[in-house]
Amino acid sequence: MNIADSASEIRLRDLARLLAAEAGTQVVFELPEAVERAGYSTATKAVLDSSRIEQLGWKAFTPIAQGLSKTVTILRELSGNC
């Protein structure tokens, strides 16, 4: 299940850059030709709604940048690339 945090709204481009920075790499955005563009999503921002889970008492405690950092650290440890 995806759970949203309204305080962590972020553009997909910025999310990719943030995650790449945490992973020690960079994102290269390639703009497709007009023919290829037809198969690509034009969405630049995912708007998620957390109201239903918040009604159950859920509350976000970790900001998005910190959560991504923790995720990258865990994945590195699991893969043995500390």
Task: Print the SS3 string covering 18-29.
Answer: HHHHHHCCCCCC
Burial 39-70 (b: 16+ CB within 10 A, else e): eeeeeeeeeeebeeeeeeeeebeeebeeebbe
Give the integer Cα–Cα distance in Å for 46 and 2: 12
| 51-82: pLDDT as tens digits | 888 899 988 888 888 988 998 899 889 988 65
Q: What is the pTM of this model?
A: 0.62
pLDDT, average across residues 14-24: 89
- Separation of first and last alpha carbons in the chain: 28
